[in-house]
Structures are given as C-alpha cells and as structure tokens.
Amino acid sequence: MKMARSALGVSAALGLATLVARGVVAIDAHIGRRSRTLGPIERDITATPEQVFDVIAAPYLGRTPRAMQEKLEVLQRGTDMVLAAHRTPTRLGVATTIETVRFERPDRVEFRLVRGPVPEVTESFELRAIETGTQFIYTGELSTDFWVVGEWWGALVARVWERTVEASIESIAGEAERRSAVARHRS
C-alpha cells in the first residue's frame, strides 16, 4: 500500500511539473524567491537599428504572419504594447507563456512574463547603432520560488528559454539582413 501511495505521489508530482512546464499552471508563492540572469546574448547584425526594430515589432504590432501563428498569438494589441502568447516546443510538450511586450522605437523592446513555467521573467532587446549596422543585446532575469528546488527548476527553464531566444535572434538577424540587402540593392 505504501508503495502504491508513493508511486501515486511521484505520478502526481510529474503531472504537476508537466503542467507548470507547459505554462498551464502558474505557481507564484513568493516563498524562497531566487533570481538568475538570462544572457547576455549579443549579435552584430548588418542592418540599421530601425530595420531590426521593424522586424521584431511587425508580427506584434502589425499582422502576425501565417508562418508564425503556431508560435505567436497577439491577445491584445496597443500602439506600443501588446499582450502575447508565445508557444515553445519542449520535451514536456508545448510550453505557452503569456507576456507583455513593450516597444520603445527604435532601440528597445521589453518583455515581462504574465504567466508561464516560472513566476517572473523580465527581458529586453537593446539595439545599438554601430559602424556595420546594429549591435543586438539580449538581457533578462528569471525568478523562481522554493529555494534550492526552485533554483534547480530555474536552471532547466533558463536553458530552454535562452536557446529559444538565440533561435529568435538568428531569425531576426536573417530577416533584417535580407531586408537591408534589398534596400541597398534598390538604392
């Protein structure tokens, strides 16, 4: 009987962990809060900060391209801020985070987690003009609850989070550089 209860407890814990990882259940207890940095991730992009900013902002402030609709859904749109659902495939299924995204044209985009696998994440994309185009700088902070257990969970989440951001930066850079080349060709 003890073994059955123990197996049931492990099964319930794994089920809860899966729901938290997917962003279905959000736990924000403010008990034993620990924070860690995300990034910095830096990338030089051969395009102007305005071109890079436009690539980042377009699916949020304009119409979300069909190719991105599985990853991004804008729930509420304003002139310089949106509430958006981001979907990321993980080993535990598709994680959905709800975030506010604020735009400060032409050099900054800020993200704040509303609901997700951890209680708190703040991030920013900073765009600095350099001789060859734009220096793209990503920084953030991720917080978890429950002391060492939360710290362990935060390390797992941060690894997936940063890989996802790196892939987004590569996509942004590719599109901004493509647009920049087209603009130079037309000139």
The yes-or-no verdict on residue 181 having pLDDT over 70 is yes
pLDDT at residue number 109: 98
pLDDT at residue number 51: 97
Cβ neighbours of residue 88 closer than 8 Å, sequence gap 6 or more? 71, 94, 95, 96, 97, 160, 164
DSSP per-residue codes, 12-61: HHHHHHHHHHTTSS-----SS-EEEEEEEEEEEESS-HHHHHHHHHHHHH
Distance between CA atoms of 148 and 38, rounded to whole angstroms? 18
**Which residue type is seen at 87?**
R
Report helix, strand or coil for 172.
helix
pLDDT at residue number 20: 65
Tokens standing for residue 130: 């350099």
Residue whose entry in the numeric block shows the structure tokens 């696998």: 117
Q: List the domains of the chain with CATH numbers.
A: 2-186 (3.30.530.20)
Express each pLDDT in 114-168 by its tens digit. Answer: 999 999 999 999 999 999 999 999 999 999 999 999 999 999 999 999 999 999 9
Q: What share of the chain is helix, strand, coil (3-state, %, to 5)?
A: 40, 40, 20
Cα 82 to the chain's mean position, in Å? 14
Express each pLDDT in 17-67 by its tens digit. Answer: 666 666 666 778 889 999 999 999 999 999 999 999 999 999 999 999 898
